[in-house]
Amino acid sequence: MFLYIVNRRNTSSYKRFITMSMEKKDTLFLLVKSLSKSEKRQFKLYAGRLGGKSEKNFMALFSVLDKMEDFNEKVILQKTNIKKQQLSNSKAHLYKQILVSLRLNPFHQNVKTQIREQLDFATILYSKGLHKQSLKILEKAKNMALLNEENNLAYEIVELEKIIESQYITRSLSTRADDLISQSKEISNRTVIMSNLSNLSLQLYSLLLKKGYVRTDEDFEKVKNYFESNLPAYDFNKLGIKEKLYLYKAYLWYSFIIQDFVSCYKYSQKWVNLFHDNPKMKTTNPVFYLKGINYLLESLFLIQHLSKFKSTLLSFEDEISQGKILLNDNTKSLAFLYLYLNKINLYFLEGNFSKGIDLIPEILSEIENYKQKIDQHHIMVFYYKFASLYFGSSQYEKSIFYLEKIIKNKDLKMREDLLCFSRILNLVAHYEAGLDQNLDTLIKSTYKFLIKMNELHIVQKKFITFLRSLSNIYPHELKKAFIELHKDLKTFENHPYEKRSFMYLDIISWLESNIENVSVESIIKRKAKFKYK
């Protein structure tokens, strides 16, 4: 069934995908398993230069871990000369050396690491009393930091310059102190603005996760007052790229909370335009770009702007295939998530549920490939979308299969909306599949669950009450009952606080399919053809 599930969580915000055993969660084991062939080769070369008995031990440990399918401490002790009491230290040493090796890998070098490296070099030179050399490196590092708007690093560099100058100042550099103080104040002010904007953005994001969307005028006023009172004063013309990015993020989350989806589109587009106007940022800040594209697509989906959605999705796919976005281990999994979640959304917009089903085996295969990098929440979001595709294709038992995977999942305590609407769709799927022998029990448990989660809205209440009454309605009166409920719910379709129910579950189209005795897919395809012609 046509749906909308909010894709809110950063991959790092949730528990990692939990299908592996407790032993397999060992941090060193996961690090070793994350290494590519070239990274393993580089590490072996790096470790070979170290020499020594301890290095032989940790290389033996590395080789054993590399060959393991699951972490097993007994196997390690059997296949290495490491004693049980030495294992903890050996693992810590190996972990550190792998990170040092990765840090030296050009693939993992970026502007931040280059600036930090220069800062480290300058600090070493300063400690040796080579002040001029240290200041020369710091000046170059500072210019790089300012050019890339790495204000925190720039501020740290200026503070070190001030320390050095206070010990090394001469008459020829007497104005240097004033220059550094002025520069420090300017960078500090920009840092404060960016920090306040990023704090507001994060606070709004947290508010959305904890409280969800506004439900009443009172909620709206509270959120509005909170946003306006915490929005820092700023001169837009003086904002750098990153300050603007956090400003747009704050407005985007505010717009989501108050369900102003046109504004969501407006600010997500501004977010993405920052990267289009500054293409280099796509490689220096790929995660922010990927998220911006995802929120833009999400907003376009919400306002059902099909042509713009399709062109944005196509452009996004082209950028990935042509290597215009820096893809590392982290961004590859994000790119997969955002691309395929939105590919499914395109099928929902067009009503091509049967065609969307063909994509499921490919997605399941990719999920398996990325299972250690994709959080469980996103797996469940995919399952909900699979269930909706099957429902829209009238394959109700397959829909129930994926819905039950979500309902039985015990690790989704923070995604109440996903659980709630999975249960409602599960009710409808059972009814359509003719599996109505336990429907009353399902209805009661769903009703109690929604009350417990404080997610029982007017639309949901009316819909569940209707399902409960179906067993008492004679077959020849069903159509009339569907028409009456359809008329009743249509009044809430554009309600500022109730419309969310229709984003998750297109109850209206389901009712129309029963009234006209045609498939949900036919109804939505017809609507799409009329709406987007």
> Would you say residue 263 lies in a domain?
no
Whether 82 and 134 map to the same domain: the answer is no
- Summarised one tens digit per residue, pLDDT across range 361-378 is 999 999 998 877 888 888
Whether 100 and 135 map to the same domain: the answer is no
Task: Give the Cα separation of 85 and 236 in Å (integer).
Answer: 59
Residue of 515, 502, 522 lying closest to 392 (CA atoms)? 522
> Would you say residue 437 lies in a domain?
no
The 3-state secondary structure of 324-345, one letter per residue: CCCCCHHHHHHHHHHHHHHHHH
Two tokens, residue 513 = 């399919």
Neighbour tally for 138: CB within 10 Å: 23
Two tokens, residue 496 = 């500022």
Residue of 261, 247, 257, 262 lying closest to 210 (CA atoms)? 257
The confidence band for 13, taking pLDDT boundaries of 50, 70 and 90, is very low
Task: Give the Cα separation of 349 and 309 in Å (integer).
Answer: 9
In this prediction, residues 489-511 reach a mean pLDDT of 79
In eight-state DSSP terms, residue 323 is T
- Summarised one tens digit per residue, pLDDT across range 67-76 is 888 888 888 8
Q: Which strand (E) or helix (H) includes residue 403?
A: helix 396-407
- Lowest model confidence (mean pLDDT) among 246-250, 283-287, 351-355: 283-287
Q: Which of 85, 107, 129 is the last residue of a domain?
A: 107
Q: Which residues of 10-29 are buried (b: 16+ CB within 10 A; e: fewer)?
A: ebeebebbeebeeebebebb
Task: Give the Cα separation of 501 and 524 in Å (integer).
Answer: 17
- Lowest model confidence (mean pLDDT) among 457-466, 484-493, 500-509: 500-509
Neighbour tally for 517: CB within 10 Å: 7
Are 12 and 377 in contact, with CB atoms under 8 Å apart? Answer: no
Whether 99 and 132 map to the same domain: the answer is no
Which amino acid would we find at residue 473? I
The confidence band for 119, taking pLDDT boundaries of 50, 70 and 90, is very high
Whether 90 and 134 map to the same domain: the answer is no
Whether 85 and 47 map to the same domain: the answer is yes
In eight-state DSSP terms, residue 16 is B
> Would you say residue 285 lies in a domain?
no
> Would you say residue 502 lies in a domain?
no
Mapped onto helix, strand or coil, the DSSP state of residue 375 is strand
Task: Give the Cα separation of 363 and 81 in Å (integer).
Answer: 43
Residue of 198, 205, 126 lying closest to 165 (CA atoms)? 126
Q: Which of 82, 107, 132 is the last residue of a domain?
A: 107
Are 342 and 348 in contact, with CB atoms under 8 Å apart? Answer: no
> Would you say residue 68 lies in a domain?
yes
Whether 122 and 103 map to the same domain: the answer is no
Per the structure, how many domains does the chain have?
2
Backbone angles phi, psi at 239, to 5 degrees: -75, 140
Site of tokens 């606070």: 203
Task: Give the Cα separation of 141 and 155 in Å (integer).
Answer: 11
- Summarised one tens digit per residue, pLDDT across range 215-259 is 888 989 999 999 999 999 999 998 989 999 999 999 999 999 999
Q: Which of 107, 139, 162 is the last residue of a domain?
A: 107
Two tokens, residue 8 = 């809110």
* Angular region, 7: left φ>0, alpha ψ -120 to 50, beta rest: beta
Whether 42 and 102 map to the same domain: the answer is yes
Whether 102 and 131 map to the same domain: the answer is no
The 3-state secondary structure of 254-281, one letter per residue: HHHHCCCHHHHHHHHHHHHHHHHHCCCH
> Would you say residue 130 lies in a domain?
yes
Compare 94 and 165 and report the one with higher pLDDT: 94
Compare 29 and 6 and report the one with higher pLDDT: 29
Compare 453 and 88 and report the one with higher pLDDT: 88
Name the residue range of residue 129's domain. Answer: 117-174
